[in-house]
């Protein structure tokens, strides 16, 4: 992938959203996204759990807390795609994004408790993964799967300490035992 795809997660709440925000980051990383920014409450525990995964499983993925989304979005060089059930059919968004240069970076924005109306204005696309309310993890996963395909999910990342290529049940358990030994 020549372009970088980043995620902006809005309005993170330490206790309520920790697992959801972590899982948004992990699914984005699994699809090869390279940056994960979030607003709301700074959460060093959540950042650590994502960074621990990067340390073991490799890849380039930067996690950063932002005090304000506004300047980050305004200075972003690339196309901004905000996820909302009030947006357009994501299949149209994907068709339109495929028409722009493959070198142009993308920023995918998912909301939290409340999405400020200006996010709709600041974004180039407001995209709906169906017109029903569901989840930020589901929205990111379906969009990236439809946009990028799923081959990347079966690749290892550079710097990975663990590889699950061509594994069977048997050697998966050997790798798991190795992990446990490394942790000891
Ligand atoms: N109101 C909820 C709360 O208090 O936690 C959060 C709303 S929703 C679960 C969070 C985000 O998921 C939305 O801002 C949007 O980015 C994404 N989302 C949910 N359903 C979606 C859909 N059908 N299409 C696109 N994005 C969706």
- Is residue 28 pLDDT above 50, yes or no? yes
Find tokens 């930067």 and name the residue: 62
What are the tens digits of pLDDT across the range 63-77? 999 999 999 999 999
Question: Atom 4 of ligand 1 has which residue's CA nearest to it?
Answer: 113
Determine which residue's CA is closest to atom 12 belonging to ligand 1.
136
Query: What pLDDT does residue 164 have?
Result: 76
Spacing, Cα 165 to ligand 1 middle (Å) = 34
Residue of 82, 90, 133 best suited for mutating to test ligand 1, as the one with most atoms within 8 Å of CB: 133
List the end-to-end C-alpha distance of the chain, in Å, as a whole number: 36
Supply φ then ψ for residue 158, to 5 degrees.
-60, 140
CB atoms within 10 A of CB 182: 10
Q: Ligand 1 center to residue 169 CA distance, Å?
A: 36
More confident residue, 113 or 134: 134
């Amino acid at each position: 992938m020549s372009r970088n795809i980043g995620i902006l997660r809005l309005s993170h709440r330490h206790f309520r959203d920790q697992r959801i925000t972590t899982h948004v980051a992990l699914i984005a990383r699994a699809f090869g996204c390279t940056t994960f920014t979030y607003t709301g409450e700074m959460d060093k525990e959540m950042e650590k759990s994502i960074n621990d995964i990067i340390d073991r499983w490799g890849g380039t993925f930067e996690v950063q807390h932002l005090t304000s989304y506004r300047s980050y979005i305004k200075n972003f060089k690339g196309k901004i795609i905000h996820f909302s059930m009030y947006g357009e059919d994501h299949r149209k968004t994907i068709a339109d994004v495929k028409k722009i240069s493959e070198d142009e970076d993308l920023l995918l924005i998912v909301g939290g408790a409340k999405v400020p109306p200006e996010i709709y204005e600041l974004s180039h696309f407001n995209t709906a993964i169906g017109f029903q309310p569901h989840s930020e993890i589901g929205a990111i996963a379906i969009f990236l799967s439809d946009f990028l395909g799923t081959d990347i999910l079966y690749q290892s990342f550079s710097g990975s300490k663990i590889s699950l290529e061509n594994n069977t049940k048997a050697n998966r358990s050997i790798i798991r035992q190795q992990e446990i030994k490394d942790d000891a």
